Homo-oligomer: A and B are copies of this chain.
């Protein structure tokens, strides 16, 4: 074994049959410092990954395995691309073997277990591990993630809303009316996952637009918990997600009312400075009009600020690829950080346009 191979991170994926799973496979199979060692699916045991995902033909030789066969405990890191509840049930065993965990589901997103239990309809089985886990939004939590053993990878909507609002709330700033923030968010259909459901059939979701989850969406408490922490107090958020007839892409239109004392603020400068050193956050010129395809299949997130008539209404437009920065790319970004690699390693793909 060469020293190069020896130094590669051994990565396993639990439950890789969904979209975040295949996207992890795409990213990790091209990552120069990763060796993909196992991928589990109880149902597809023995099936070559490339049979399910033909884009991986000739690139990924792994077969799906049952968790029993997969020897996940020999991995350096295990990604959970599973339904909610799976990661927490396996976390203890893996941690005891020194395996680090990145969960793409919700098990380690919400610190308040009562909130978790209300929204996910299951008890949290390892509150002690949860207490030590870190919310994996790199741009907010970089130092903690670098030392984390368990990372809860953020939801897609929360990533856009939090990065779009953080500069306005951090550091005790009193810039906007935090009692009535509006997040009007739009997601491509892949955000609903690769489940066989009528509502996301081509003939149902195509050539159509709708809101959903207005009465309550699981990402709402996740956003709120983080916003409250950023602002140091309760933030009032109205959150309306919509479904867009496109495969990938997320667009959040955020509305905040500027406080009278803050009308002189140079918001453009504020945002530019806040994200100046962030490799994956692009603050566009004031008044720019980002489009989701400009980040398709890349880990980039772009922000553009608008202030019509220079009045008291601030509009923040945020875009990302929901499967990359909103899920699997962010997970790899977290992994890079946790293993001391340059944060952009394996994440520099240029977006696909058209």
The chain A residues found within 8 Å of chain B, CB to CB, are 19, 22, 26, 29-30, 53-59, 180, 182, 184, 186, 188-190, 194-198, 200-212, 214-216, 238, 240, 242, 244-249, 251, 253, 255, 257, 282, 284, 287, 289-298, 300, 302, 306, 308, 313, 315, 317, 319, 323, 348-354
Which one of A190, A197, A245 has the greatest number of beta carbons of chain B within 10 Å?
Answer: A245
Of chain B, the residue at the smallest CB distance from A204 is: B354
- Give the CA-CA distance A200 to B300 in the complex, in Å: 24
Known: A186-B186, A209-B186. A246 touches B245 (CB 8 A): yes
Within the complex, which residue of B57, B201, B207, B209 is in contact with A251, where a contact is CB–CB below 8 Å? B209
A211 to B30, CA, bound (A): 29
Among residues of B, the one whose C-beta sits closest to the C-beta of A251 is B209
CA distance A304 to B244 in the complex (A): 19
Closest to A292 in B: B209
Task: Say which residue of B57, B188, B209, B350 sits within 8 Å of A249 (CB atoms).
Answer: B209
Could you tell me the distance between the alpha carbons of A322 and B35 in the complex, rounded to whole angstroms?
32
Q: Which B residues lie within 8 Å of A57 (CB)?
A: 282, 284, 294, 300, 302
Known contacts: A315-B214, A315-B238. The answer to whether A291 contacts B255 by CB under 8 A is: no
In the complex, the chain B residue whose C-beta lies closest to that of A352 is B297
Complex CA–CA separation, A22 to B353 (angstroms): 8
A145–B196 alpha-carbon span in the complex (Å): 39
A195 to B226, alpha carbons, bound, how many Å? 39
Given contacts A55-B351, A57-B284, A206-B206, could you give 11 more A-B pairs where the C-beta distance is less than 8 Å? A54-B294, A186-B242, A194-B201, A202-B247, A206-B207, A207-B247, A208-B292, A209-B244, A209-B291, A211-B317, A238-B308
Q: Are A58 and B282 in contact (CB under 8 A)?
A: yes
Q: Specify which of A55, A242, A284 lies most central, judged by the most chain B CB atoms within 10 Å of its CB.
A: A55
Known A55-B296, A203-B189: A211·B253 in contact at CB below 8 Å = yes
C-alpha gap A59/B238 in the complex (Å): 34
Partner of A194, one of B180, B203, B308: B203
The 5 A-B pairs at the shortest CB distance, nearest first, are namely A55-B351, A210-B291, A54-B294, A55-B353, A208-B293
How many angstroms from the CA of A308 to the CA of B216 in the assembled complex?
8
- Cross-chain contact of A350 among B55, B209, B292 (Cβ < 8 A): B55
Set of chain B residues within 8 Å of A352, measured between Cβ atoms: 26, 55, 296-297, 352
- A247 and B56 contact, Cβ closer than 8 Å, known pairs A214-B306, A313-B238: no
- Whether the Cβ atoms of B180 and A313 lie closer than 8 Å is yes
A354-B233 Cα distance, complex, nearest whole Å: 40
